Amino acid sequence: MKQTHAYKVDLAKIDGKGAFPCPRCGGNISPDDFTEEAYSILGTKVNKQGLEELEIRCSKCGSQLHLTGFAILQMLSEKDKEINENGTIEKAQFYINHI
């Protein structure tokens, strides 16, 4: 039986644009990777506010990574609404591209 390594990664503590090294093998895990060469998505956990945890597998070593820290992203999305001088609500110009 093969042993699976599991790690919890808090995205709120990562500097930069969301890329981080795999805790086991050091492979680059980047939200800009659309090919699933570096990782594959195994599942998600959501609550009434949105995404709570994302479970991915590193393609290089097979480790399971539980990504947390989405609450800070949810708070930012709430703060992205601004009221302009006309009293209408405008959204700030940013978005989350891919995880």
Q: Does residue 99 form part of some domain?
A: no
Q: Which domain holds residue 36?
A: 6-91
Q: Does residue 97 form part of some domain?
A: no
Query: How do the pLDDT tens digits run along the chain, 99 residues long?
Result: 678 899 999 988 888 888 999 999 999 999 888 888 999 999 999 988 788 999 999 999 999 999 998 877 666 656 655 545 555 555 544 444 444
User: Residue 2 has what DSSP assignment?
Assistant: P
The tally of domains found in the chain comes to 1
Strand locations in 1-99, DSSP E? 6-10, 20-21, 28-29, 39-47, 50-58, 64-68, 81-83, 89-91
Q: Does residue 1 form part of some domain?
A: no
Entry pTM: 0.71
Asked if 66 and 6 touch (Cβ cutoff 8 Å), the reply is yes
Q: Does residue 98 form part of some domain?
A: no
Q: Does residue 96 form part of some domain?
A: no
